[in-house]
Amino acid sequence: MISFDDLLSRAAGHHGSEKAVLDAAMNDHAVDLLAQTDDRYLATMTQCVFNAGFNWRVIEAKWDGFEAAFHNFAPSRVAFFSDEDLDRLVSDTRIVRNGQKIRATIENARFVAETSKEHNGFGRFLADWPADDQAGLLDHLNKQGSRLGGATAQYFLRFCGWDAWIASKDVCAALAAAGVLDKPVATSKSALKKVGETVNALHLESGRPRAEISRVLALSVG
């Protein structure tokens, strides 16, 4: 089993010093999950869905248009969008006019609204999910949400403030080199479980946030 000190040392060899690595690995998305409203969770979810396969700068440049077109992502409003609303949005030049992703936003509004009602807030749902079971949370998002599989869900969790690891190319390369993964990719449930177990072990060893550990893993390969 690879140790956090070994990882940090390897990363420092690529980036100058351990301090430089830890500074670069700091999670600047960490926020209070309970302080965020449901509309911001849906907004972040939508941004991650639209970023997948697109240049993120295009989405960022149009984001004010997204906010206006989707009524500031109020789940209670977007969840009841009709086929006429979908047709309107597909022709709306303020946003990226991808019909499948627009429909996914409507479906995810229903997911957020229903989850919020059941758990007294979507943030409460995320905050109550066990921190050491990200693989299970990813599976839940994939099954209950729309287009929330793979890296999209991982980035959603990271960007909304959940202490999430990301199974990026570099992270998987580091774990493959350590013998954790058979190959430098983690898309299957079993591989994601191994990523989660390893990050959890490194978290217990070091006491550092899982998002930070994920970045140190990535920095350790170059």
Whole-number pLDDT of residue 143? 98
Quote the pTM value. 0.95
% pLDDT > 90, the chain: 95
Closest CA to 83 of 67, 98, 113, 103: 103
Whole-number pLDDT of residue 28? 84
Give residue-wise pLDDT tens across range 130-144. 999 999 999 999 999
Closest CA to 51 of 155, 185, 205: 155
Which of 26-35, 52-61, 208-217 shows the lowest per-residue confidence on average (mean pLDDT)?
Answer: 26-35
Give residue-wise pLDDT tens across range 19-51. 999 999 998 888 899 999 999 999 999 999 999
Q: Where are the domains of the chain?
A: 4-30+165-219, 35-160
Average pLDDT, the chain: 97
Mean pLDDT to the nearest integer, 71-96: 97
Whole-number pLDDT of residue 96? 97
In this structure, which topology does domain 35-160 adopt according to CATH? Endonuclease III; domain 1 (1.10.340)
Give residue-wise pLDDT tens across range 176-199. 999 999 999 999 999 999 999 999
Whole-number pLDDT of residue 1? 75
Closest CA to 124 of 135, 112, 132, 134: 112
- List the end-to-end C-alpha distance of the chain, in Å, as a whole number: 20
Q: Between the CA atoms of 133, 137, 143 and 144, what dihedral angle is there, to the nearest 10 degrees?
A: 140
